[in-house]
Amino acid sequence: MNAVQRVMRFPPERVLEDAAVERGLAPTRLHALLLPVWRVEIRATITEGEDFKLIDRHLERGLAYGGLATVAELARFFALEEPLVAQAVRFLTRTGHIEEHAGRLALTPLGVRSVQDDRRYVITREDRRELYFEALSCTPLSRAHYDERKVTPLAGADLQQVLNRRDFPRFTMVSVMTGFDRGALSRLATQTGPEERDRLNLPVALDQVESLGEECVFLPVYVVHGLREDGRAGLLVYSQVGAEPDRDLTAVLQRAEHVLAAIGAEEREAEHREAGLRAAEKWLEQKGLDDHRPRRRPDGTYSIDLPASAYGPDGVPLTRVGSYTVRGTSFFHLWCRDETLRKYALLARLDLRLGAGRRVTRADAEAHVDRLARQLDLPVPDLRRLHKGAETAGHGSLAAQLARLTQDQEPV
């Protein structure tokens, strides 16, 4: 699968469901954007941290806290052969952890820090690597955005193919307002705290940083606008990392006033054209259901309430009940007032998510059930009751999975 085919690994309907059910944000508009990102190749002196080998940890702690200062003393104290200790000391000397003065061994500042943090620090000079900075405020991206299995920065022909796509949703490119701020590289050295540095995919230390070149690439994201429970407007950004809000990119977009202004203008134009109503009406016509009418909800979006007879193998799929259908930046919600049908819809959705071939735990299954029950406005059933329902409804794979889960708490 190439970069264009896997622009996003999950459908936009899923992020609308997540926003509505899990985040307390009633969606009013969906945007598919291509956010600019600087991909910067750097050359620097890098300090990385790694786990100690057992003997190296003991030897360094012996020098730091044990009053030991020679190979013979270290070997005697730890009951090791002198040649083995001498070999380890030579290695730790080459890596900058131990130095010798007048026949006495001592830790270097790098060795002292390693003992204090219980991490073996290694300095690599003239290291080259790529770093990512979002281009709207030039802040570094988190480690998750470096996962090449999930994240596909777009440039060149791949970018143009995505822009030329005519299917929904259509991605809009956010323009770059300024060039790369090279001061962002020097600011990396001031990032404090090992947890924050690890989150930003930064080494323990980054010195003598030099940019070898910057390229602007683009990351696909879904942006959900909506109303919070207190009535205030809000937005969530979903990136390729996963179908949960991207905390960093959400914060970036909330500060990007020119992007928010452009989104707002587009939303006002869509509202003026009644794009949501037109999309819902066209869908009803295509499905041969034009005797039904969309209902405008208090938040300005539309819902289509269909009878139970409209759903099924020859009609609208059961898995669409309680979900959204996206058309451009507009969408509408599908519903059915028949509680029995919604229970069948719950089983159909679970069959897709928890089929027998998937590895899930009981906790995973219960979380899926809880989410879908809330989405379908149903009481949350226990897994044993669902097992009986799956058997009755003919969902054999789901019934088999639920049978195993109710027998054993461990992964299947």
Q: How confident is the model at residue 243, as a pLDDT?
A: 86
* pLDDT for 193: 65
Question: In this structure, are strands 98-101 and 104-107 parallel, antiparallel, or unpaired?
Answer: antiparallel
- Residue 410's pLDDT is 46
CA distances (Å), origin 135, targets 228, 301, 315: 28, 32, 46
pLDDT score recorded for residue 57: 92
Name the residue type at position 193.
Answer: G
At 127 the pLDDT is 85
pLDDT at 411: 44
Q: What is the pLDDT along the chain (412 residues), one digit of tens a residue?
A: 444 456 888 889 999 999 999 999 999 999 999 999 999 999 888 888 888 888 999 999 999 999 999 999 999 999 999 999 999 999 999 989 999 998 899 999 999 989 988 888 888 888 888 999 999 989 899 999 999 889 999 999 999 999 988 777 789 999 888 889 888 888 876 665 667 777 888 888 888 888 899 999 999 999 999 989 888 889 999 999 988 999 999 999 999 988 888 888 888 888 878 888 999 999 999 999 999 999 998 888 999 999 999 999 889 999 999 999 998 778 999 999 999 999 999 999 999 888 756 688 899 899 999 999 999 999 999 999 999 999 999 999 899 899 988 885 544 3
- What pLDDT score does 281 carry? 94
Please give the pLDDT value at position 184: 87
- Cβ partners under 8 Å of residue 254, min gap 6: 235, 260
pLDDT at position 2: 47
Q: How far is CA 376 from CA 185, 284, 351, 398, in A?
A: 49, 21, 15, 19
pLDDT at position 145 is 94
pLDDT at 46: 83
Is 147 within 8 Å of 202 (Cβ atoms)? Answer: no
Residue 82: CB partners within 8 Å, gap ≥ 6? Answer: 71, 72, 75
Residue with tokens 């786990």: 51
Question: Which residues, other chains included, contact 406 with Cβ-Cβ below 8 Å and sequence gap of 6+?
Answer: 362, 383, 384, 387
Element (H, E) at 210: strand 205-228
